[in-house]
Amino acid sequence: MINIHHSENQNRTLLQINRTKTLQIIRPIYSMGLINNLIAGFLDKATISYKTPLNANTFHIQLHSEAFRKVNHVPGYFVRIFVGKGKDLAFKDNLRSYSAWKLNKLNGTLELAVCTHGAGPGSDWAKECKVGDEVSFTWKKSNLVVDDAADNYVFIGDSSALAHLYELHRNLLKGKSVKSIIYDEIESNLFPDLDGSRPFHFHNIANAQSTTSILEMMPVLLEGVSSSNTIVYVAGDSRICIALNNYFRKELRWESR
């Protein structure tokens, strides 16, 4: 029996295998690649219907699937894509998460924006995949979903979070007050939303992995922002997310989900 649990963080993807006699016998004969491809067989299927570079480090990839017409979707959900097709990767490297940039149920299409600066299996998939390819995927729910409860919103993230933040922003009721910091070492890595709009403030920073640089921008960003009627969305590189979460919870004493 094989149980697979995916957490939001693919680094914590677990494969639990009951080490039965059968498994011990087949292990020397079958490669990890075969097991991985068997698992991909159980995932949902889509076809790549469009692909274009948004800039030197990001691809806009559109998936088409009849299943998208019926999916119960909340803006902020994401897909886990089987990026290891035809490759003999370690199990944890087979799946990568990509946010729904926009789901069009009428057309059965899902837009993704995939950055390649990670330079791992997800980036390789984004560079190598082409229109017509079959993609195995599964939907995942997220805590970072659209929530109209506040009047004020703050969006913070990097280029890999931009699709997610655009989707949340586009689905908020009109008339909300919005502040934002979207950062990258190369400003041209930051792309507009699907309709060409640029609702966020883009910042060019020297080191996108430096928690200090991001934290230093917070006092100015949060000037005049009250904690009582504000929702802050933080997404992107997990190291920065953790630092910001600590800053809001421990220093500013804001509630965190």
Ligand X SMILES: Cc1cc2nc3c(=O)[nH]c(=O)nc-3n(C[C@H](O)[C@H](O)[C@H](O)COP(=O)(O)OP(=O)(O)OC[C@H]3O[C@@H](n4cnc5c(N)ncnc54)[C@H](O)[C@@H]3O)c2cc1C
List interacting residues with ligand X (CB under 6 A): 8-9, 78, 96-99, 113-115, 118-123, 142, 158, 160, 163-164, 236-237
| End-to-end CA gap in the chain | 34
Residue tagged 């400003």 (tokens) = 187
From the list 226, 117, 208, the residue with the least C-alpha distance to 158 is 208
Element (H, E) at 21: helix 21-26
Tell me whether residue 43 or residue 225 sits nearer to ligand X (CB atom): 43
Minimum CB separation of residue 96 from ligand X in Å reads 4
Tell me whether residue 109 or residue 123 sits nearer to ligand X (CB atom): 123
Tell me whether residue 197 or residue 209 sits nearer to ligand X (CB atom): 209
Alpha carbons 219 and 197: distance in angstroms, whole number: 27
Distances (CA, A) of 50 to 64, 131, 188, 251: 9, 6, 22, 45
Is residue 141 within 8 Å of residue 77, measured between CB atoms? yes
Tell me whether residue 23 or residue 43 sits nearer to ligand X (CB atom): 43
Minimum CB separation of residue 18 from ligand X in Å reads 28
Residue nearest to ligand X (CB): 120
Tell me whether residue 242 or residue 252 sits nearer to ligand X (CB atom): 242
Minimum CB separation of residue 113 from ligand X in Å reads 6
Alpha carbons 76 and 80: distance in angstroms, whole number: 13
Which bin fits 78, alpha (ψ -120 to 50), beta or left (φ > 0)?
beta
Minimum CB separation of residue 169 from ligand X in Å reads 14
Distances (CA, A) of 111 to 32, 53, 224: 30, 13, 35
Minimum CB separation of residue 189 from ligand X in Å reads 10
Minimum CB separation of residue 54 from ligand X in Å reads 11
Tell me whether residue 164 or residue 169 sits nearer to ligand X (CB atom): 164
